[in-house]
Amino acid sequence: MRNIKIVIEYDGTKYKGWQRLGDSDNTIQHKIETVLSKMAGENIEITASGRTDAGVHATNQVANFRTECSMSDHKIRSYCYEYLPEDIVVKSVQEMDLNFHARYNAKVKKYVYNICNNREHNVFNRKYEYHIPQSLNIENMIKASEILIGEHNFQSFTTLKTKKKSTVRNIYTINIVKEDGNIEISVQGNGFMKNMVRIIVGTLVEVGLGEKTVSDISEILDKKERKYAGHIAPAKGLFLEEVNY
């Protein structure tokens, strides 16, 4: 038995997210598993570092799967490139120790969110960024983001319904950079819940627009209710950029 780690890049625009669904084959996981199963002549199930939502992209998603297939790493990668849709690319293939687990062994994840803060949107980037024509106060957004850094209960910043799972997460850094009207918000942490990064971005945008204040952020954390945080920023601007082990 072999344990194979793959790093994947995908455009999530037309997919219903990463996770395999019972009523649809239009997911990233399903597309990759179908190709790998055909290649190996056996049923392949892959585990990702995390589940990206519908419309979210990845430049370096990490996953692993177990197989009896003896094909070399290079040939597995070539096979995937030939048979996967053009909006999904397996960037690297590496055989790992049997104990490696893409989700449980992940230590740090980094997401990047792109905002176009010009009056007009960019025609060529419009599918991959959130267009906000109103001027955003970056200084206040940075001050607000600093309050979110550290270990907190982020229950207000997720659409996760279950109360059985912990909503405590540790955010290590939030960087906000604006250049020529383009804003990049990068968030690094030990893990993220459903829609967490997009709600953080939506909340920071509302601070930037003056709809919320910097001091509101601490209150939102304390209240632990989704309704107090900001809107969910569109999926199209979000990229899973890096997973560290």
Candidates 41, 51, 50; CA nearest to 21 is: 51
> Domain count of the chain?
2
Asked if the structure places residue 163 within a domain, the reply is yes
Mean pLDDT throughout 198-212? 98
82 and 53 co-located in one domain: yes
Phi, psi of 64 (to 5 degrees): -140, 155
- Residues 8 and 51 both lie in one domain: yes
CATH number where 156 lies: 3.30.70.660
Among 64, 96, 128, the domain-final residue is: 96
Last residue of a domain, one of 46, 69, 96: 96
Pick from 110, 82, 111, 104: nearest CA to 3: 104
103 within domain boundaries: no
Q: pLDDT at position 160, please?
A: 87
pLDDT score recorded for residue 155: 95
- Asked if the structure places residue 116 within a domain, the reply is yes
Specify whether 222 is catalytic.
no
54 and 81 both lie in a single domain: yes
Q: Identify the active-site residue in 25, 53, 180, 222.
A: 53
Residue 184's domain spans which residues?
Answer: 108-244
pLDDT tens track for 41-66:
999 999 999 999 999 999 999 999 99
